[in-house]
Amino acid sequence: MAKARGILWLFVLAAFVVTPFIFDFRYPLSILRKGERLVNIDLAQLKKMQAANDIQLIDVREPVELEEAGRIPGATNIPLGDVEEAFLMDSETFFKTYNIKKPKKSDANIVFTCRSGVRSLRAVKIVEELGYKPLNFKDGYLGWANQEL
C-alpha cells in the first residue's frame, strides 16, 4: 500500500512538472476550443516578418500604456475596445482614422500585440469572427523590451 501511494505521488509530481511545458497558462482555457485556429508567433518570427517588411503590426494596448512603456517599431495602435469597430470600418474611414491601409481578410501578415500577449489574443479572436486570419505575438511588448536589454 505504501509503495502504491509513493508511485501515485510520483505521478502527481511528474504531472505538475510537465504541465507548464504542455499548456501556456497565460491564455484562458475558455478561449482555446477544440478545432479552433490559434497561431502564436514568437520574437524570432516577429523579427523575421519585420525584416522582410511583411507585417501589419497592431498594438491593442491603451495609448497611455504606449506613452509610458514604449512601443514596438512599426506598430499601429488600435486599443482592444476599438478593434471590432475598426475592422468593420470601410477602407477609407480606416485609413483616415489609423493612417494605414485596412488589412484585407486574405492577408496572412496581420499580427496583434499588447503588453504580454493576453489582450492581443482577444483581438485575434474578435477579428477571426469577422473573417480575418491574424497572428498573435505571444510575448507582447514585454518580450520585445526584454530582448533589448
What residues act catalytically? 114
Residues 84 and 126 sit within 8 Å (Cβ to Cβ): yes
Contacts of 79 (CB under 8 A, 6+ apart): 60, 61, 62, 63
Residues 116 and 105 sit within 8 Å (Cβ to Cβ): no
Contacts of 74 (CB under 8 A, 6+ apart): 50, 55, 57
